[in-house]
Amino acid sequence: MTRARTTTPPPPARIVIQRPSPAVDDGSYPAKRCVGDTVEVSAEIFRDGHALLRAAVRYRPVLSGAWDEVELRPVAGEADRIRWAGSFVVDRAGLWQYEIVAWTDRFGTWRDELQRKLEAGQDHLSGELSEGVVLLREIAGAASSAQNRSTIERALAVADQTALMDADVYAVAEREQTRTGGTTIGPIPLQVDEQRARFSTWYELFPRSWGGLEGVERQLPQLAELGFDVVYLPPIHPIGHTNRKGRNNSPIAEPGDPGSPWSIGDESGGHDAVHADLGTTDDVRSLTRVAAEHGIEIAMDFAVNCSADHPWLRQHPEWFNHRPDGTLKYAENPPKRYQDIYNVNWDCEDWQGLWDALLQVVLHWVDCGVRTFRVDNPHTKPAAFWAWLLEQVHARDHDVVFLSEAFTRRAVMRHLAKIGFNQSYTYFTWKNARWELIEYLTELTTSGEQEYFRPNFFANTPDILHEYLQLGGRPAFEARLILAATLSPSYGIYSGFENCENVPVEPGSEEYLNSEKYEIYHRTLDGQLLPLIGAVNRARRDNPALQRLDNLTFLETENDQLIAYVKRSGSNTIITVVNLDPHHTQEGLAIVPARLGLPPAFAVDDLLTGERFHWHTGRNYVRFDPGVRQAHVNRVESEVE
């Protein structure tokens, strides 16, 4: 009887690869980059013993199928030399992936050991030379070209230590040797978006206060001239009649009150319709087309809210929450009550039909030229729904950008960013003190969030008029504008900001008096802050340093009412100093540390005023008088002799 032969499996891998970067939750979610970015990849790579290692990063767009590869090298300056790094460039939008591979450098190890023995004066190395011959014969047998094979064979013909350790032979052997004892980690996902997913300048307006969609279209040239590249429209759909809200959120509407745009739907249509007073779907197409001609994207609000008059309540009553007595349950967040809005029932039996209907709404507006959506309160809807919806939309058009409006627990905000939202609202509106700003920006830029969480710093919204703006007058608006625009690559303002509108409905409230959410204004672009807004936006557009988040360094000021920071991108360096006190003159220092590598003395141009100043490494005196100067946005121009 013949015993069946068994194959002994190879021993377990001896190389360890750990802590790869960039990676979100160990690769459970994609890190985010933009087209044209250089992706810096690193990992800890080591093994037992003294053998030398080689490593590489393999990368590809997921849909391409073909891998490219770049070698990794130990990071210079690290004593233990276990951190390896390299980089590659992403050149198209979509889902990418990379993996890190490492293997034992057998020939390099042999050559290194022999070299050390020779340097120590050891002789009788014939055994070591025979090992080198065996390795080179193996490599020659698998060489990819006749030239490489010939280089090795010439060395083998001599077979002494000089020939075997020749630099040209070593270079060929490093390229041609078989990768043995290899270990791979990955693939690790990487989401690559267009640049506007990271860098954008938003202006929010209610179309009904500007003469409808045609009126908004007439404002596009001036908005583009001011430097805005996203115009965000709150819901433009029909508004329900039942339980319509009146002025200042009154539960009883007076005749002629237009109602809240977030109470979506009436007998004329729902989420895929346009309010008759604003225009038509063809007007949306015209608006997006003309906006594109001016370098502007139209952002639409996507709010999963339904009025009692929304067609879905008649067509799909199973999609809504019913109390035991048969009445519908309107939206509440006690003690707040939203009598004019009904939430959908995410746990209904026909949840798939509901999901598909909402997807079709988004795709309808994408077909009309809308490529940016501000999503209303996504944290109150299932995260699984958003992951699915964003995946479906991006599979069709990866250029579509989704902004998450979730002011909630940080873990929830982070999770929404991980599952695919391109940008996120933040707590910036409530961070007004120097220590708060430094603490929060340090979290955003160094905690790991910078790999996937793209902040959008709105200085105000229709729902948020912070006490700082209520009490600080124009200097407060100037300070918050400059902070938002220079700290974050994406920021926005809601119309009225340029007019310094700052009256709350009552003390202690962040709601506006006579809020535009419940009545129609008659807006024009003539606010007192427009020249400053234009200057700030030009600075952002002209300076790559202001178009990133991860290049921020705070400076000491020796005055807690002043905040100073540097942003650098290549040779472009911006130093911003802001007076956080809107009421009093403040003076102090902007201390430029030598570690930034700036010249000992240099000129700076203030991009807000056009003035030139001489600065230097070390202590630079600054003074700000509210109403005269609230900030410096200084570009480093040249070295001063």
Contact 456, 423 (CB under 8 A): yes
* Weakest mean pLDDT among 55-59, 148-152, 194-198, 265-269: 148-152
State the residue for tokens 């307006």. Answer: 205
The beta strands (E) that lie in 238-277 are given as none
What is residue 228's predicted lDDT score, i.e. its pLDDT? 98
**SS3 state at 152:** helix
Kindly report the backbone phi and psi dihedral angles of residue 345, in degrees, each rounded to the nearest multiple of 5, phi listed first.
-95, 100
d(CA 15, CA 181): 7
**SS3 state at 138:** helix
Residue 193: count of CB within 10 angstroms of its CB: 23
For 161-213, write each residue's pLDDT tens digit: 787 778 888 888 888 788 888 899 999 999 999 999 999 999 999 999 999 99
For 261, 329, 342, the CA distances from 332, given in Å and listed in that order, are: 17, 9, 9
Architecture per CATH, domain 552-639, reads as Sandwich (2.60)
**Residue 384: strand pairing partners:** none
For 552-584, write each residue's pLDDT tens digit: 999 999 999 999 999 999 999 999 999 999 999
What is residue 236's predicted lDDT score, i.e. its pLDDT? 98
CATH number for the domain formed by residue range(s) 107-176: 1.20.58
Q: Which of 276, 260, 249, 285 is nearest to 206 (CA)?
A: 260
> Are 15-105+183-192 and 552-639 in the same CATH fold?
yes
Q: Give the pLDDT mean for 22-27.
A: 96
**SS3 state at 201:** strand
In angstroms and rounded to an integer, the radius of gyration of the C-alpha atoms of the chain is: 31
Question: Is the pLDDT confidence value at 2 over 80?
Answer: no
d(CA 417, CA 411): 10
d(CA 470, CA 80): 55
What is residue 303's predicted lDDT score, i.e. its pLDDT? 98
Mean pLDDT of the chain: 94
- Residues marked as catalytic: 376, 405
Which tokens is 514 given?
């006579």
In sign, the C-alpha dihedral spanning 612, 474, 443, 544 is negative
d(CA 150, CA 362): 62
pLDDT band at 126 (very low <50, low <70, confident <90, very high): confident
Can you give the residue ranges of every domain in the chain? 15-105+183-192, 107-176, 200-245+268-303+351-546, 246-267+305-343, 552-639
Q: Give the pLDDT mean for 317-328.
A: 85
d(CA 205, CA 248): 18
What is residue 5's predicted lDDT score, i.e. its pLDDT? 66
Which tokens is 579 given?
């007076």
Highest averaged pLDDT of the listed ranges 60-64, 106-110, 166-170: 60-64
Question: Is the pLDDT confidence value at 3 over 70?
Answer: no
Which tokens is 191 given?
């989401």
What is residue 79's predicted lDDT score, i.e. its pLDDT? 66
For 335-381, write each residue's pLDDT tens digit: 777 889 999 999 999 999 999 999 999 999 999 999 999 999 999 99
CATH number for the domain formed by residue range(s) 200-245+268-303+351-546: 3.20.20.80
- Which pTM was predicted? 0.93
For 593-607, write each residue's pLDDT tens digit: 999 999 999 999 999
d(CA 375, CA 298): 14
Q: Which CATH number fits domain 15-105+183-192: 2.60.40.10, 3.40.50.10310, 3.30.559.10, 3.40.50.970?
A: 2.60.40.10
Residue type, 136: L
